[in-house]
Amino acid sequence: DPAALEAELAPGDVAAVIAEPVQGVAGAVALSDPFLAALRELTRRHGALLVFDEVQCGMGRSGSPFVAQACGVTPDLLTTAKGLAGGFPAGALLVGDALAGGLARGDLGSTFGGGPMACALIEATLDAIEDGDLLANVRARGEQIRATCVTGPVTAIGGRGLLAGLRTTRPAKAVQAELLARGFLTGTSGDPHVLRLLPPLVVTEAQVSALAGALAEIPA
């Protein structure tokens, strides 16, 4: 609600607003592009920084490198991890020019930061995404999931790309167990009727078709 957000920001005592463009644990709830644009405008107007948490939805999972690029909204800060190094422990804070100018080399240093293996794996992951044209695959498979997997106990699918929230008529845990018995790993969420689906960026058309077939076998 942009109006409610403006009421919170109007006093001018908010330093930053942190938003997860696709709220993963909540059930793959995607914030709309107009809302994110309004969030950017309001934070600028009231002197607050805008931080995007793309730890779960970034690194190509939305079909773009980051949701910020897909929605055309540039935050002041963006966090990324998880997929950043293909699952190896690594994280990064991306900083816009306006803030980066105030940082001297070493200001954000860490005795656990900049590990050679982590950095090599980050580079390898970026190369794999680009060389394999994986963003195109994410977009295609995301569309396929939404076109074919509203079946059986699934009534709707939210999220973006390959961060999908499958809304179920039955408790998500029950559907999760049925899928596991058929060889499919899925996750639950904070919403007891939303199943989280986060397949790898290399998931194939045949694998998504198999998932749709498995869902169709599960009673609604």
Q: Work out the pLDDT band at 105, boundaries 50, 70, 90.
A: confident
- Cα-based distances in Å from 195 to 93, 157, 198: 29, 9, 10
Number of CB atoms found within 10 A of residue 18's CB? 12
pLDDT tens per residue across span 46-82: 999 999 999 999 999 999 999 999 999 999 999 999 9
Alpha-carbon distance of 163 to 196, in angstroms, equals 7
Calculate mean pLDDT across residues 11-35.
96
List of residues 6+ apart from 20 with CB closer than 8 A = 31, 52, 53, 54, 56, 57
pTM of the full predicted structure? Answer: 0.92
Walk me through the domains of the chain, giving residue ranges and CATH numbers.
2-131 (3.40.640.10), 134-217 (3.90.1150.10)
Query: What's the pLDDT at 136?
Result: 98
Query: What's the pLDDT at 150?
Result: 99
- Cα-based distances in Å from 168 to 151, 192, 203: 10, 9, 22
What does the mean pLDDT of the chain come to?
A: 96
Expressed in angstroms, the distance from the first to the final Cα of the chain is 33
Query: How much is the CA Rg of the chain, to the nearest whole Å?
Result: 19
- The position carrying tokens 């690194």 is 59
Residue 107 has pLDDT above 90, yes or no: no
List of residues 6+ apart from 164 with CB closer than 8 A = 28, 142, 145, 146, 149, 157, 158, 196, 197, 198
Residue 212 has pLDDT above 90, yes or no: yes
